[in-house]
Amino acid sequence: MSYAATHDQHDDHHGAPKSFFQRWFMSTNHKDIGTLYLIFSLTMFFIGGSFAMLIRAELFKPGMQLMQPYFFNELTTMHALIMIFGAIMPAFVGLGNWMIPLMVGAPDMALPRMNNLSFWILPFAFLLMLSTLFLPGGGPAGGWTMYPPLALQTDSLAYVVFAIHLMGISSIMGAINIIATILNMRAPGMDLLKMPVFVWSWLITAFLLIAVMPVLAGAVTMLLTDKYFGTNFFNPGGGGDPVLYQHIFWFFGHPEVYIMILPAFGIISEIVPTFARKPIFGYKAMVFAIACIAFLSFIVWAHHMFAVGLPLGAEIFFMYATMLISVPTGVKVFNWVATMWGGSMTFETPMLFALAFIILFTIGGFSGLMLALVPADFQYHDTYFVVAHFHYVLVTGALFAIIGSAYYWMPKWTGHMYNEFWGKVHFWNSVIWVNVLFFPQHFLGLAGMPRRIPDYNVAFANFNMISSIGGFLFGATQLIFVGVVIHCVFFSKKKATDRVWEGAKGLEWTVPSPAPHHTFEVPPVINDDELAHGHVND
Amino acid sequence: MGQQHDAYFVPAKSTWPFVAAVVMFITVFGAAHWLNAEPGDAGFGKTVLSVGVIGVLGMFFGWFRSVINESLAGSYNHQVDTSFRMGMMWFIFSEVMFFGAFFGALFYIRMFSVPWLGGHGHGVLTHQFLWSDYAAAWGANGGNGPEQAGGAFRTVPAWGLPLLNTLILLTSSVTVTIAHHALRAGHRGRILLFLGLTVLLGATFLYFQAHEYIEAYKELNLTLHSGVYGSTFFLLTGFHGLHVTLGTIMLAVIWLRVLKGHFNKEHHFGFEAVAWYWHFVDVVWLGLFMFVYIL
Ligand code: HEM
Ligand SMILES: [Cu+2]
C-alpha cells in the first residue's frame, strides 16, 4: 500500500468499503475495529468459559472425576489468561474504540492504522498460546501468574512468553492510540472537564497500561532467559530470588486489576445517570477518585505476597496502602448511589446490570479489604476465598459492566433495539447463578480449601456441588446473550431513535442510529446543554 | 488529497497492519519452536524465525515507505503531526518502564536478595540452613551467588571502555542536537555532517561494546551464566545495546532522508522522533554506567 493508495482516500472516506477483506482486515475505521475487538472478546469469553465449565465439572464431586491433574492445571492457567487478556481487556478496548471518538467528537482514532495492528496482533497471540495445548509437553500449567520455579518446568514457556509479549505490544499500542485520541482529537469546546467519565476512565487506564505492560514484558523475559539461556534471576543458588519475580509481576499485576475495573467504573458512570435521569453526582470527584485509585495501584502490589515472608515493615506498609484504596473506591460507590437518590429511575437491562454491579462489586471490595489484613490473609491466601474475591470484582464487576454497556450502546451500534424481555431474562439468570456460583466459594475458602487443585477433602463437597451447579447455569445463561445480540443485529424490527434512551446525554447520542460509517468528519459544534457534563464549571 | 478540505485526516486503508501481525506471529512462532527443539532438531524453528525476521524487516520498510510518501504528498496536517509526536513520546515512556523492570531487578538483587542470602536482615534462615559459608558481596567475589554459578569471574572495570563509551554517547547526543539546530536553520551541509557523525559515534559505541563482550567471555569469564551478576550485566547492557543498534539504524535512515531532501524547517517529525529516541538511549546508558559499572 503505497502512494497510489492515498488516491482511494476520497471514496474510502465517504463510501462503504469495497470487499470483505478490505473492510475487516485493512480497516482504519474505529467502529469496524471496535466491532472486531468485541467479536474477538466474546469468542474468547466462550473459549475461556468452556474451560471454566470443565473446571467446575471436575470439582463437582470430591475425587478425581474427568481429567489428569496436569490438564486441570492447564485449564485453570489458560482460563485466567484467556479471560484477562482475551476477554475483559479487548472488550474494553473495543468499547473505547467505538465510543471514545463518538464521545469527544473525533472522526476516528488518532492513529487508525496502528489501531488495526493492535487488534490483529491479538488473534495471533491467542493462536500461539492455545496451540500449546496440543504440544507434546502440554500447555502452561503453573498458574496465570507464572511463578518460578514452577513455571520454568513447563515446556510451553517460550510460547506463552512470546504470546504475552505480543499481547503487551497490542495493549501498549492500543493505549497510546487512546491517549492520543483523547488529548489530541477532541472537538473544539470539548474541554477535558466536560468529557464523559467513561473517556476519563479510559485516559487513566491507558496510562496504567503503558506504564505496566512493559514491566510484565520484562518479568516474562527474565523467565525466558532463566529457562533457556542460563541466567539466574530467580535462582537463589546464583544470587537471585524467586520472590523477585513476584515483586515484578505484581508491580504489573495490581495496576492490571485496575486496568480491568476503571473502564467499568466509567461505564457505570454513564449508565446510572441516564436511567436515573440526573447528572452524575460529583463529576469532578469521580474523575479525581479514578486518578487516585490509579496512583495508589502502584504502591500496593505486595498485598499479593503477604504470605511469602516479607519484612514486617513491608507487610505493614502494603497493608495500609491497600486499605487506603477503599477511600476513593468508596467515593465512587457513594456517588453512584447519590446519583440515583431522588432520580426518576427506570430499570431497563443496562440499568439492571449497573445496579447489580454496584452491589456485587462492593461485596468484592469488602472481601478485598478482608484479604488486605495481613494476619487474616495468612489464613485466606491461596484459598477459594481469594477466588471468590476476584470473581466478584471481575465477573460481577468488570464483566457485568461490559454486558451492561453492550445493552446500553447496542441500539446505537446496530440501529435496532434489543429484545428487552430476553435481556431481562439474561440479567436475572446471570445475577442469580453468579451468586450461586461464587458466594459459596467464600465459605470454602474460609474453611481452608486451597485454590488451583483438582481434588479436595470430602468436607468441602456440598458447597462445591452448589458452586458447580451455579457455574453450569451461569454459563448456559450467557448463550441467551448471544441470542439477544444476534437477534438485535440481524432480526430486530424495532428501530432505535438517535437518542435511544430518554435520559441519555452527550455527543454520542446526537449522531444517527446506527452510527454511520464515518461520523464527525468535520468537528461538531458543541452545545454545552447537549453534554452530560457541559456545565460542571458553572 | 481528499481530506484537505476537511479539518480532519483519516488515513486510507492499508494492508500493512495485517501483514505486520502475520510476520510478528511467524517470528515468535519460529523463535519459540527453536528454543524448545531437541538439540540437532532446531532447523525448522530457525527457518521459520528467519522467514519471520525478513518479513518484519520488509514490513517496516514497506510501511514506513508508504507513510513517508504520504507525508511528502502533504497529507498530514498539524493534528496528525501532534498525534505522531504523542505516539512517540508515550512509546518512549513504555521503553523507560521496560528498562525500569530490569533496573528494579538489579536494585532488588543488590539491596535485598544477595545480602539476605549472606545472612543479613531478613534472610537469616536461608543463610543458616543452605549456604552458611556464603559471604554476600557484589561483583567478582560473590555476585554469582552462593553456588558460584558460572565459576569465578572478574568484572569489567568502569574506567576503561565503559568510560570511553559514555563519552562517545554523550558526544553523540551533542552532535544530534547540533544537527537539529542546523535543520531548523536550514543548513543542509551541517545537518549531514553532524548527523553523519552521530551515526558513526553510535556505530563506534557498538563496536566497543562488542569488544567488551568478547573480552568478558574470553578473558574475564564473565558470562550470561555468571550468577545474577552476569544475568543483570548482560541483560541490561544487552537490551541497551539492542536499542543503540536500532537507534543507529534509524539515524542512518534519517540521514538518507535528509540527503533526499525529505525535511524542511517546519516539517521534520521523523528527525525529531529519532533524536528523542537517541537521547533516551543515552540517558539509559548513564543509568547503566552508574549502577552496573561504577557502583
Ligand atoms: C477494595 C479494593 C481491593 C482490595 C483491598 C483488594 C485486595 C486484594 C488482596 C489482598 C489480594 C490477595 C489475596 C491473596 O492472594 O491472598 C487480592 C487478590 C486479587 N484481586 Fe483484589 N482487591 C481489591 C480490588 C480488586 C479489583 C477491583 C480487582 C479486579 C477488577 C481485583 C482482582 C484481584 C485478583 C484477580 C486477585 C487474585 C490474583 C491471583 O492471585 O491470581 N481486586 N485482592
Ligand atoms: Cu492487588
β-partners of residue A450 are A383
Distance from CA of A29 to the nearest CA of B (A): 9
Span B91-102, average pLDDT: 98
Average pLDDT over residues B229-242: 97
As a whole number, the mean pLDDT across chain A is 94
Task: Quote the CA–CA distance of A175 and A90 in Å, as a whole number.
Answer: 11
Q: Closest Cα to atom 21, ligand 1: which residue?
A: A368
pLDDT at B77: 86
A394 lines ligand 1 (CB under 6 A): yes
Q: Which residues contact B43 (CB under 8 A, 6 or more apart)?
A: none
Judge: B228–A239 Cβ closer than 8 Å, yes or no.
Answer: yes
By C-alpha distance, the chain A residue nearest B142 is: A239
Looking at the DSSP bridge assignments, the partners of residue A495 are A416
Q: Give residue-wise pLDDT tens across range A46-60.
A: 999 999 999 999 999
Q: Of all residues in chain A, what percent carry a pLDDT higher than 90?
A: 91
- Chain A residues lying within 8 Å of B91, measured CB to CB: 172, 176
Rounded-to-integer distance, Cα A420 and Cα A309, Å: 52
Q: Is the pLDDT of residue A74 over 60?
A: yes
Kindly list the distances between the CA atom of residue A334 and the CA atoms of A270, A326, A349, A502, in Å, as whole numbers in the listed order: 15, 12, 22, 24
Residue found by looking up cell 547540533 in the block: B178
Question: Ligand 1 pocket: which of A81, A144, A257 to mutate (most atoms <8 Å of CB)?
Answer: A257
Sort A422 into a burial class: Cβ within 10 Å, 0-12 / 13-18 / 19+.
Answer: middle
Q: Do A28 and B65 touch (CB under 8 A)?
A: no
C-alpha cell at A82: 484467556
Question: Which of A475-479, B27-31, B47-51, B65-69 has the lowest average pLDDT?
Answer: B65-69
Question: Per-residue confidence at A4, pLDDT binned at 50, 70, 90?
Answer: very low
Handedness of CA B132, B135, B141, B142 (dihedral sign): positive
Query: Which residues of A are designated catalytic?
Result: 79, 108, 144, 170-171, 254, 256, 258, 269, 303-304, 329, 332, 451
Q: What are phi and psi of A383, to 5 degrees?
A: -115, 180
Per-residue pLDDT band for B4 (boundaries 50, 70, 90) equals very low
pLDDT in tens, A222-249: 999 999 999 999 999 999 999 999 999 9
Nearest chain B CA: its distance from A433 CA (Å) = 39
Q: Is the pLDDT confidence value at A304 over 60? A: yes
Grid cell digits, residue A26:
485493512
How does DSSP classify residue A416?
A: B
Residue nearest to atom 33 of ligand 1 (CA): A390
Question: Quick check: A232 and B231 in contact, CB under 8 A?
Answer: yes
- pLDDT recorded at residue A2: 33
Chain B interface includes A16 (CB < 8 A): no
Residue B1's pLDDT is what?
Answer: 31
Question: Is B105 in Cβ contact with A233 (below 8 Å)?
Answer: yes
Cell triple for residue A359?
A: 452491589
* Alpha carbon A3 to chain centroid, angstroms: 39
Over residues A344-349, mean pLDDT: 96
Helix axes A30-58, A69-81, angle to 10 degrees: 150
Answer whether residue B2 shows pLDDT above 90.
no
CA dist A358 and A346 (Å) reads 16
The residues with which A416 forms a beta bridge, in sequence order, are A495
| Separation CA A369–CA A365 (nearest Å) | 6
Nearest to A124 among B21, B66, B121 (CB): B21
pLDDT at B40 over 90: no
Once rounded to an integer, what is the mean pLDDT over residues A507-523?
Answer: 92
Q: Is A485 touching ligand 1 by the criterion CB < 6 Å?
A: no
Contacts of A210 in chain B (CB under 8 A): 90, 93-94, 97
In contact, B112 and A205? CB cutoff 8 Å: no
Query: Domains in chain A and their CATH numbers?
Result: 31-530 (1.20.210.10)
Domains (range + CATH), chain B:
1-76 (1.10.287.70), 77-294 (1.20.120.80)
The closest-lying atom of ligand 1 relative to the alpha carbon of residue A260 is 30
**Which residue of B36, B102, B116 is the best one to mutate when testing the A interface, meaning the one whose CB has the most A CBs within 10 A?**
B36
What is the spatial distance between Cα A97 and Cα A225, in angstroms, rounded to a whole number?
Answer: 36
Residue B295, pLDDT score: 87
pLDDT digits 0-9 by tens, B164-182: 999 999 999 999 999 999 9
pTM for the structure as a whole? 0.95
Neighbours of A174 (CB within 10 A): 31
Ligand 1 touching residue A322 (CB < 6 A): yes
Work out the angle at residue A209's Cα, subtended by the Cα atoms of residues A206 and A210, and round it to the nearest 5 degrees.
90
Q: In whole angstroms, how far apart are CA A265 and each of A204, A262, A356?
A: 12, 5, 13
Q: How far is B62 from chain A (nearest CA, A)?
A: 8
With beta carbons less than 8 A apart as the criterion, state whether A55 and A72 touch: yes
Reported as half-sphere exposure (CB side, CA atoms, 13 A), residue A31 has a value of 19
Residue A253 pLDDT greater than 80, yes or no: yes
Cβ atoms of A433 and A474 within 8 Å: the answer is yes
Backbone angles phi, psi at A495, to 5 degrees: -70, 145
Among protein residues, the one whose CA lies closest to atom 3 of ligand 1: A368
pLDDT-based confidence at residue B7 (cuts at 50, 70, 90): low
- pLDDT over threshold 70, residue B105: yes
Give the whole-angstrom CA distance, residue B97 versus residue A138.
Answer: 32
B228, B234, B280, best to mutate vs chain A, most A CBs in 10 Å: B228
Which pLDDT does position A16 carry in this prediction? Answer: 57
Mean pLDDT of chain B: 93
Residue A12 alpha carbon to ligand 2 centre in Å: 45
B181: phi then psi, degrees, rounded to nearest 5: -60, -40
Report the residue from B6, B28, B94 with minimal CB separation from A214: B94
Question: How confident is the model at residue A538, as a pLDDT?
Answer: 61
Q: What percent of chain B has pLDDT over 90?
A: 82
Contacts of B108 in chain A (CB under 8 A): 241, 244, 247
Residue A529: the pLDDT is 86
Average pLDDT over residues A193-220: 97
State the amino acid at position B268 in one-letter form. Answer: H
Question: Do residue B113 and residue A113 have CB atoms under 8 angstroms apart?
Answer: no
A204 CA to middle of ligand 2, Å?
A: 17
Res A101 pLDDT > 50:
yes
Mean pLDDT over residues A135-158, rounded?
A: 93
Alpha carbons A100 and A107: distance in angstroms, whole number: 10
Q: What is the end-to-end Cα distance of chain B in Å, rounded?
A: 57
Percent of chain A surpassing pLDDT 70:
96
By Cβ distance, the residue of B12, B82, B145 closest to A239 is B145
Q: What pLDDT, on a 0 to 100 scale, did the predictor assign at position A537? A: 66
How far is the C-alpha of B213 from the C-alpha of B141, rounded, in Å? Answer: 20
